[in-house]
Chain A
Amino acid sequence: MESFMYNELIDPVILSNLYENDYAFIQKIFQSFLDSGIDGDLQQVDTCFTSGDTDGLRKVIHKLKPAFGFVGLTSIEEQCREMELLCANGRSLNDLTEKITELLNAMRAGKKAIEDDLQKLILFNKT
């Protein structure tokens, strides 16, 4: 069977381990990721950051972390893990401005990669 070529942000090995190249199911998971209120969650990251709500930020990042893991965005998952730990350790959000901005940018790029690959997967699965 032909292999699907993922966006470079997506880890193909992780997806192969999780889904055993069941592309129809991967399509379903990508769709579920995008339908699960990801935009609202990213907005919440931003809101918690600007309002200095460390615990709120930790909670939303804790929720997002495995979501990125399930779609093969492992580097973002790792960034989430690091940020969750910093928040749990009570680090002031003022000290984390650069890291949070990086994380938000990475999350938005990750989401875009999933959107693009979902469209490609739909076509791939049709053929």
Chain B
Amino acid sequence: MIVEDLPVAAEYLKNCCEKSGDIEVLGHFTNVNDAVTFLNNQRVDLIFLDVEMPGDDGFKLLDRILYSPKVILTTSKTEYAYNAFEYHVTDFLKKPFTYQRFQEAIGKLAFSEDNRKKESTDDHIYIKTDGKLVRLNNDDILYIESMGDYVKFVLADKKYVSHNTIKNLEEKINPAVFLKIHRSYIVNMKKVQNIRDNTVVINGLELPISKANRAEVLKRLNVI
């Protein structure tokens, strides 16, 4: 998906995607509001995202969507590199960029996906809490809850608070075990006891499922 208000840049990007043969452009939007509406109804794997546009900027889009697709920023201002790093974007294309540079960015995407798959075989994570790194086995984690700039890892008998975000964790935890059910909750799917209406029950606790994540949750259940 392309979010870009400059027609020549959008035209150029579409051509690069077509030329690559690997990327199908599902939509092109010139402002954040329209793009968010689309993104919350349809999942995409990758967004080419401009930063300065009329209305909200590109980073606001990343704050507002309910899942974390890969992002390649396209801007003519290198000053956004720091924010790009903060938002874990895959690459940063300075306009105008060559097709070769576009291919490099796409290459990084494949590399980061490989890394993610490699990481996803892990059965544990380390979290930074109280000035130390604590190992948590995936099987011990019931769910993870957002607390603004912090997240709470809830185990059966303990809770840990760590400086992190749900968005960032979603990228790093094992997707075979964990699933984001709401902008504030990631749950261990092995711990789900039952699902009723728009809630999942884990260890007797009811956690909300957002409308945007409901289909994905149901897809992951082994309903017979």
Chain A positions within 8 Å of B, measured between CB atoms, are: 14, 17-18, 20, 25, 28-29, 32-33, 35-36, 59, 62-63, 65-67, 69-71
Contact = CB atoms under 8 A, between A and B. Distances in A.
Given A59-B52, A62-B52, A62-B77, A67 B8 contact: yes
B211 to A, nearest CB: 35
B53 to A, nearest CB: 9
A26 to B, nearest CB: 11
Q: At the interface, is chain A mostly helix, strand, loop or mixed?
A: helix
B9 A20 contact: no
A65 B76 contact: yes
Contact of A69 (B7, B11, B15, B76): B76
Contact of B15 (A14, A17, A25): A25
18 contacts: A14-B96, A18-B12, A18-B99, A29-B11, A32-B11, A33-B8, A36-B6, A36-B8, A59-B52, A63-B5, A63-B52, A66-B6, A66-B8, A66-B9, A67-B6, A69-B76, A70-B95, A71-B8
B32 to A, nearest CB: 15
Nearest to A29: B8
A25 B16 CA distance: 11
B137 interface: no
Contacts of B11: 28-29, 32
A35 B10 CA distance: 13
A28 B7 CA distance: 11
Contacts of B95: 66, 69-70
Nearest to B75: A66
Given A17-B98, A69-B95, A63 B6 contact: yes
Interface string B3-42: 0011111011001000000000000000000000000000
Contacts of A67: 6, 8-9
